[in-house]
């Protein structure tokens, strides 16, 4: 039986059994960052010192952020009660893949900034799976409950099957109690930089946008699911 999307057979060992090693690596990385070391150099040094393997380093790279980045993100983060009447601009693949992994009981983790992230690493090779419709249903249910006024989903046009995902979302838009648009664009990140309320876990986007909402974390709480490792408690 194949593993859920974004999961490796060694994940329990790498992220639960060896959690202390990862927490220590993050702590030492933050120590260096606070003393002016570049992020890549700091993480390379600490991950080598603790003998982290590639998958652990990927998680740390996606999960660690500087104090300055954390402060910026927290200042821009909206609560559920602040969403009513607003338009949500969604980083489509970023959110849907994470929800697919979460809904299939795959490996997700909580970064220092509280964002839920996955380790799928599809690198442009996306395919629709059985959890894709469930992910769209979850987004619809959330949006209806929050009272947002409209939804705009950006999908990376160079990614394989982006057109099929667009059609799938539009086929299910009757489930949304608000207008839903889906746009295929070459670089969604840049288009999201100046948007008012963004849904994404991409750190650069979150640092540029006006406001953002942590939808995947909200879904995880409602699903009573748990991240395989939580770095947000070790600030």
> What is the span of the domain harbouring residue 44?
11-64
One domain for residues 44 and 96: no
Both 78 and 19 in one domain: the answer is no
Check whether 234 has a pLDDT greater than 80. no
Query: What value does the mean pLDDT take over residues 61-77?
Result: 97
Under DSSP, the state recorded for 51 is T
Give residue 1's pLDDT: 67
How many other C-beta atoms are found inside a 10 Å radius of the C-beta of residue 158?
11
16 in the same domain as 119? no
* Domain assignment present for 3: no
| Residue 181 included in any domain | yes
Domain final position from 42, 64, 86: 64
Same domain, residue pair 212 and 99: yes
Q: Are residues 113 and 206 in the same domain?
A: yes
Q: Are residues 54 and 85 in the same domain?
A: no
Q: Is 152 helix (H, G, I), strand (E, B) or coil?
A: strand
4 or 148: which leads in pLDDT: 148
How many of the other CB atoms lie within 10 Å of CB of 110?
A: 22
Quick one: pLDDT band at residue 228, thresholds 50, 70, 90?
Answer: very high
Structure-token match 């160079």, residue found? 158
- pLDDT score of 125: 87
Residue 20 has pLDDT above 90, yes or no: yes
The answer as to whether 227 is a domain residue is no
Asked whether residue 209 is assigned to any structural domain, the reply reads yes
Q: How confident is the model at residue 113 (pLDDT cuts 50, 70, 90)?
A: very high
d(C-alpha 110, C-alpha 148), whole Å: 25
Q: Count of domains in the chain?
A: 2
Q: How confident is the model at residue 233 (pLDDT cuts 50, 70, 90)?
A: low
Sign of CA dihedral 46, 51, 54, 55: negative
pLDDT, tens digit, 9 for 90 and up, residues 133-165: 999 999 999 999 999 999 999 999 999 999 999
Domain check: are 51 and 106 in the same one?
no
pLDDT digit string (tens) for 35-54?
Answer: 999 999 999 999 999 999 99
Q: Share the mean pLDDT of the chain.
A: 95
Q: Residues 58, 118: one domain?
A: no
As a whole-number percent, the residues of the chain with pLDDT over 70 amount to 98
Pairing of strands 150-156, 87-91: parallel
Q: Output b/e per residue, 200-226; b: 16+ Cβ within 10 A.
A: bbbbebbebbebbbbbbbbbbeeeeee
Residue 229 belongs to some domain of the structure: no
Whether residues 86 and 170 fall in one domain: yes
Query: If 0-12 CB within 10 Å is exposed, 13-18 middle and 19+ buried, where does residue 6 land?
Result: buried
Per-residue pLDDT tens digits for 71-97: 999 999 999 999 999 999 999 999 999
User: Does pLDDT of 60 surpass 70?
Assistant: yes
**6 assigned to some structural domain:** no
Same-domain status, 115 and 146: yes
pLDDT tens, residue by residue, 187-218: 999 999 999 999 999 999 999 999 999 999 99
pLDDT at 101: 95
42 and 94 assigned to the same domain: no
CATH (domain of 112): 3.40.50
- Whether 234 maps to a domain, the answer reads no
β-partners of residue 108 are 118
pLDDT band at 121 (very low <50, low <70, confident <90, very high): confident
Query: Would you say 234 and 23 are in contact if contact means Cβ atoms under 8 Å apart?
Result: yes
Same structural domain, 41 and 85: no
Looking at residue 231, its pLDDT comes to 93
**Residue 44 forms part of a structural domain:** yes
Return the pLDDT at 18: 97
């Amino acid at each position: 039986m194949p593993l859920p999307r974004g999961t490796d057979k060694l994940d329990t060992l790498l992220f639960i059994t060896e959690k202390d090693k990862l927490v220590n690596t993050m702590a030492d990385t933050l120590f260096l960052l606070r003393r002016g070391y570049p992020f890549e150099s700091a993480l390379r040094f600490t991950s080598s010192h603790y003998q982290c393997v590639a998958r652990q380093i990927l998680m740390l790279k996606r999960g660690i952020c500087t104090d300055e980045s954390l402060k910026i993100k927290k200042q821009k983060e909206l609560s559920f009660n602040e969403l009513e009447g607003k338009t949500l601009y969604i980083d489509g693949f970023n959110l849907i893949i994470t929800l697919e992994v979460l809904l299939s009981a795959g490996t997700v983790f909580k970064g220092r900034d509280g964002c839920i992230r996955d380790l799928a690493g599809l690198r442009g090779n996306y395919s629709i799976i059985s959890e894709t419709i469930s992910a769209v249903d979850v987004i619809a249910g959330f949006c209806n409950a929050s009272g947002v006024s409209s939804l705009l989903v950006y999908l990376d046009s160079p990614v394989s099957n982006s057109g099929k995902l667009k059609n799938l979302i539009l086929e299910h838009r009757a489930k949304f109690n608000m207008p839903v648009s889906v746009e295929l664009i070459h670089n969604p990140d840049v288009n999201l930089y100046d948007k008012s309320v963004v849904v994404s876990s991409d750190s650069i986007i979150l640092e540029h946008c006006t406001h953002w909402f942590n939808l995947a974390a909200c879904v995880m709480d409602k699903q009573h699911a748990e991240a395989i490792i939580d770095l947000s408690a070790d600030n």
